[in-house]
Homo-oligomer: A and B are copies of this chain.
């Protein structure tokens, strides 16, 4: 913050508030109330939050908790923020940082933000996205342990899943079976589960489940972001219903091999672009017709996806402690895609797999 010349950060999204305070609640599902944490360049963070969150925030390490009775549309924390910035925080540099760049959003009414910025705050608001990104991309061992735990739970469930599935089950039933198994295995929640099944492959990996019964020859993908203590896993598995086309098997072998190339390439100092090319070379050699996902993996942690991105243009260098996914995907026939994904933490040497490595061939469901 000193180097960036900002006196304080003004943060408002769920992961930003949680990262600096430990404040964990599903209450963010309600869009009604804004929540703020101010991180001064010296001293502890200060919470400026709706009264309903005071007790929950008191259980964190934060001492300075300022609340207002919300909802109160005419003044949702604005007066409290102005008081704090005007009278109690140093204004050496005259700049307050708010994340504004890639992968950020503004979780407060735009009209309130503009009022704050243009008329009432005594400092200039500048982009602090890089500060947050740099901090959050490298995980502590405590963070890695939580991600490893949820990855292990999901690995266990993926491995035993074929025992609970049979040809003819609908996607809706399969999703329900998976989510129930995740709860029983110790996941707090399966906040993200997408996928689908189709004859000779699937065409889409972000849709909710359908009521169509699965059939012999179908390929199923399940891609899950389950949560333990606020940390996500994010990986997928493919399954074959009985015998499937050779084209599907070849596509699976290709994305599997591309993942191996990613594991071999993921070293401290390697750029995300280099990691992309290491995997993409194998996808192209395997006949990839394109990739609608737009990247071959990404960071993860407090969010299902975080910076960086394994694309041709992301020059972020991997460093020890970064948790990322390797997610080679390809279109291998008209309207058919194949996506594979594992979760790793970058180590001084080969990466540590957090998800248990998928089998080289798709498990068969009868």
Contact = CB atoms under 8 A, between A and B. Distances in A.
A89 to B, nearest CB: 21
A104 interface: yes
A100 interface: yes
Nearest to A192: B29
A28 to B, nearest CB: 9
Contacts of A69: 294
A109 B50 CA distance: 24
Interface in A297-316: 298, 303-306, 309, 311, 313
Nearest to A12: B105
A172 to B, nearest CB: 8
Interface in A193-249: 193-194, 203-208, 225
A306 B134 CA distance: 35
B309 A31 contact: no
Given A183-B180, A292-B51, A294-B51, A108 B109 contact: no
A107 B103 CA distance: 9
A6 B111 CA distance: 18
Nearest to A229: B208
A267 to B, nearest CB: 23
Size band of the interface chain A makes with B: 35 or more
Contacts of A25: 194, 206-208
Interface stretch (A70-78, A155-163, A256-264): A70-78
A18 B31 CA distance: 16
A31 B305 contact: yes
Indicate the member of A72, A193, A292, A335 with the most B CB atoms within 10 Å: A292
B76 A102 contact: yes
Interface in A108-135: 108-111, 113, 127, 129
A108 B298 CA distance: 19
Nearest to A300: B30
A240 to B, nearest CB: 21
Smallest CB-CB A-B distances: 7 pairs: A55-B204, A73-B102, A106-B106, A30-B305, A100-B110, A27-B206, A29-B304
Interface of A: 24-27, 29-33, 50-56, 59, 69-73, 76, 98, 100-111, 113, 127, 129, 176, 179-180, 183-184, 188-194, 203-208, 225, 292-295, 298, 303-306, 309, 311, 313, 335
14 contacts: A26-B206, A26-B208, A27-B206, A32-B298, A32-B305, A32-B309, A55-B204, A56-B204, A72-B294, A73-B101, A102-B109, A103-B109, A105-B109, A180-B183
